[in-house]
Structure 1
């Protein structure tokens, strides 16, 4: 395996190479390449988001994060249909990201619920036909981040420009990397294969109604950072049941551990370290293979932003609470929804 090929491996692939190295020298080489890959990735991500914020405004740095996620995901993941038709789907997806979160924030509690239902279903329908790719982790996450970091006035106009630029960049990368893919399915196949009795469509409806309803619950309870409940529910409601319980077991303890780590950093380290918490979290995610450890380090960046709004105790408490609510709700909703559908089908 060449140096470049090894840089393309994910965490599990790199750690597998390290684990099965035949000599100390080989193990050291694989370890150094793995660490270099994390540094390169983190540096690129930071440079991309900073450049995006410089062009489209600091209020829209979250758009840079969403665009970066889309580019990095869709350079490898396809949509399961012809490449040209997949490009059309991506344009429609970015249209939802541009206007859906804003419309949801401008609506009342139940109006917001309806917007969430339409937008989240649109994202899963257009982008998650190939469920193995787990594209909901990017698309629904992006929608919830834009919903949670809403802007108005000129900042929103710049947000539209940033999302438009992101759409062009993502489509270009997608078409270039998947131009040789051969699929019989096209855009019409998405409509033709929509079937509430199928596992795929049932999962799409589960994610849609589960995330939308937990956001409704969070709104009714007036929980701050309500998007955290939606992200937690989305992350555990995966297409395969065996993974769902593992994610719930990993996410709740992971966020508790992340909260405690965040408190330790704020209590025992100088203030100069605080601005590096997001970077520490990014490095930790890069080194993590298990979902539980990823949850630990993902929570650091989220709390470092929220602490300026909710204060230290509030950021930690609501990060833990909202994630616990979202994860448990996602598990319970998935079970109840599938039982209801099964009864209706049997009846």
Structure 2
């Protein structure tokens, strides 16, 4: 049967469905920044992402356990990110603790996506350090909103059964399993990336680390495609930002363009297009605290370095797993 061609009414319906969510997002971020400080706004973005992704999530445990773990994890990674700023080696220890905890949390996630708000959150919390009263407000927000997200998760999933008791979160695992291999690859690579960036004194280690998180996805079919697309999409995103905000759009209209771009991003499914948007959005924030040219070059360089690290890790660990299996291929679902 031939598929009916979509009319303008169909597209309008999709837009109207997304609009309330977008309005909620704008209100949430604006309210968060008002109460917890503009310098902590990125934490508000992560908490919003966590709310939207984790409301109906299945971690494999009972809803009470999962809800508690969500709150504990947001609070924990916020605290570890603050402690990581105390020094290079102290930071390395904090990174290792955070990775081990987060990967243990999502070990029974069958959707292979629940790690994202926590991993992106930790990287961004480290990438946007605060101190003094701002740090107190950050932790307060993680306690209040992180707990609220856990409660929402509990309420919406009360009827959900438990596939695993809580004690199995720390049960021994086998490196013959695809999930354990992915977790090892991502955890080791991300810790080393954060450590390397901080040791080099790279101003935006966060952008290197986010590239690693994006490219070392547990979705095997996506890995190689993303590795080819990441850098070209980053270059286009930087070029788009430089052209629009450098030449075409007056400063008085730029905030409107950012708002419109944010709404349009809700309809993006392509990794290539989404990466272009992410580069554009990241530069909007970065240029508030550094010159435009510096932000663009750091964005490009950070993504190139992060991509090289991720590709190298992919092939290095693939060789390790292949050798362990005696030459056999492995699967995430093994």
TM surpasses 0.5: yes
Residue of structure 1 in register with 2:116 after alignment: 137
Contact 1:38 1:286 in 2 (8 A): yes
Runs of 4+ in 1 over 4 A off after TM superposition: 344-347
How much does 1:340 deviate?
A: 2.5
Q: 1:309 aligns to what SS in structure 2?
A: coil
The equivalent position to 2:16 in structure 1, one of 36, 43, 51, is: 36
CA distance in 2, matches of 1:141, 1:269: 31
The equivalent position to 1:114 in structure 2, one of 53, 77, 93, is: 93
Residue of structure 1 in register with 2:175 after alignment: 196
CA distance in 2, matches of 1:63, 1:132: 24
The equivalent position to 1:172 in structure 2, one of 140, 151, 170, is: 151
Residue of structure 1 in register with 2:296 after alignment: 316
Residue of structure 2 in register with 1:83 after alignment: 63
How much does 1:129 deviate?
A: 2.5
How much does 1:294 deviate?
A: 0.6
Residue of structure 2 in register with 1:334 after alignment: 314
- Alignment CA distance shift 1:128-1:296 (3 Å): farther
Q: Deviations over 1:244-279 (max 9, x none)?
A: 111122322211111010011122211113323532
How much does 1:45 deviate?
A: 0.8
Residue of structure 2 in register with 1:93 after alignment: 73
Q: Deviations over 1:123-168 (max 9, x none)?
A: 1211343152411221100111111111111111111110001122
The equivalent position to 2:224 in structure 1, one of 236, 245, 248, is: 245
How much does 1:328 deviate?
A: 2.6
The equivalent position to 1:304 in structure 2, one of 261, 284, 289, is: 284
CA distance in 1, matches of 2:288, 2:34: 22
Correspondences of 1:46-65 after superposition (within 5 Å)? 46-65=26-45
Q: CA RMSD in A?
A: 2.0
The equivalent position to 2:264 in structure 1, one of 284, 287, 291, is: 284
TM-score normalised by the chain length of structure 1? 0.87
Query: Relative to structure 2, which stretch is displaced further, 288-297 or 275-284?
Result: 275-284
CA distance in 1, matches of 2:76, 2:257: 31
Structure 1: 5+ residue stretches without partners: 1-19
Q: 1:132 aligns to what SS in structure 2?
A: coil
Residue of structure 2 in register with 1:104 after alignment: 84
Q: 2:290 aligns to what SS in structure 1?
A: helix
Query: Relative to structure 2, which stretch is displaced further, 214-223 or 198-207?
Result: 214-223
Equivalenced residue count is 325
CA distance in 2, matches of 1:84, 1:262: 44
Residue of structure 2 in register with 1:213 after alignment: 192
Instruction: Please identify which structure carries the higher helix content.
Output: 1
Contact 1:288 1:294 in 2 (8 A): yes
TM-score normalised by the chain length of structure 2? 0.90
CA distance in 1, matches of 2:69, 2:134: 26
The equivalent position to 1:156 in structure 2, one of 95, 113, 135, is: 135
Q: 2:291 aligns to what SS in structure 1?
A: helix
Structure 2: 5+ residue stretches without partners: 328-334
CA distance in 2, matches of 1:182, 1:145: 33
How much does 1:169 deviate?
A: 1.2
